[in-house]
Chains A and B, each alone.
Chain A
Amino acid sequence: MKDYLVLRVVSKLLIPFILLFGFYVQMHGDYGPGGGFQAGVIIASALILYAIIFNIGIARKAAPMWIITSISCVGLLLYVGVGIATMIAGGQFLEYGFLSTNSASGNHTGILIIEIGVGITVSAVMLMIFFSLAGRR
């Protein structure tokens, strides 16, 4: 893609904003449309755009496969960890009310942490799928 000047310039401008928008969607999911699933896909798509337009080798070096696989495990473990934390606090599995003194605010914290876990796993899995499919002959 070395000859497409417009694509290169525009995507170089866009990628930081795509990442920022991804984080906004992640943290703002409980007030507007959005959440972990969408944010994960958007963050992954920023890296995929970089890999397609510029250089897949550099993108691979920036996110090596062993890091992506371990990050995807971290997201899922964060989700399960919240469930186990509520069990330790005295409730049942994923009963967020026990995360805080107040049931409503405990629910809010639980939702935020779980959405982060979902976002991490989804973005890591999307990158994992892309890097294993792309650029192989």
Chain B
Amino acid sequence: MDQKKYKGEKKIDLYINIIILIFVLLTGIAAVWLRNLVASAMLLGIYSLLMATLWVVLDAVDVAFTEAAVGAGITTALLLFSIWLTGKHEKKSTKKPWLPLIGVIATGGLLIFGTIGMPDFGDPNAPAHLHVAPYYLQYSVSQTTSPNVVTAVLASYRGFDTLGEVTVIFTAGIGVLALLTGLRRRRRSQKLEIKK
């Protein structure tokens, strides 16, 4: 790899990444800070859209696509509907926040201590880039005729994994259905008992 060109590209990636990260952190903190839950849900949508741009900067176009459709689109709609059902104002909690704060700061400090051994941003010699990824990148076109390596890995090389994920999504959908429609039926039967 040409060392000079490599350095220049690295810098611009890193700076755009950091600027978007600052926005992401601000919207994330604002989303959990506000007590109005509708505003919170809208901020979470903006947060997801910013995350999608961050994924584009970090070369994960498929993930950006999914995040933009799921996070900024459907999550916001679902959150707004359930806020409509459960009430949009959050009461002030009576619990003292000190114990969670101390726990969180301790955990965060330990995790940051753990990043000392992590590879640099975009380091080509990081362990993640040396093991299976070169195999996928080299053989995916000849073995599956699919230029998008993400799709090839998703559906072919890791087909079992995706089958599991689809089953999880299916189960979650059935769970939501059972929780909400089952509840309605139970209510109706309760009403009938009261009438008797």
User: Contact residues of A with B, CB < 8 Å?
Assistant: 25, 29-38, 41-42, 44-45, 48, 52, 65, 69, 72-73, 75-76, 79-80, 83, 93-94, 96, 103-105, 107-108, 110-111, 114-115, 117-118, 121-122, 124-126, 128-130, 132-137
Residues of chain B contacted by A134 (CB below 8 angstroms): 81
User: Given A79-B166, A108-B144: A114 and B180 within 8 A (CB)?
Assistant: no
User: Given A38-B69, A103-B143, A121-B169: A30 and B180 within 8 A (CB)?
Assistant: no
Q: Return B82 CB to nearest CB of chain A, in Å.
A: 6
- Contact: A107 with B143, CB < 8 Å? yes
**A122 nearest CB neighbor, chain B only:** B169
State A34–B155 Cα separation when bound (angstroms): 12
Is B39 an interface residue when CB atoms closer than 8 A count as contact? no
Q: Mark B139-163, 1 if CB is under 8 A from A, else 0.
A: 0001111111011101110011011
Q: How many residues of B contact A (CB 8 A)?
A: 43
Residues of chain A contacted by B121 (CB below 8 angstroms): none
Residues of chain B contacted by A114 (CB below 8 angstroms): 155, 159, 162
Is B73 an interface residue when CB atoms closer than 8 A count as contact? yes
Q: Return B63 CB to nearest CB of chain A, in Å.
A: 9
- Contact: A118 with B74, CB < 8 Å? no
- Contact: B180 with A133, CB < 8 Å? yes
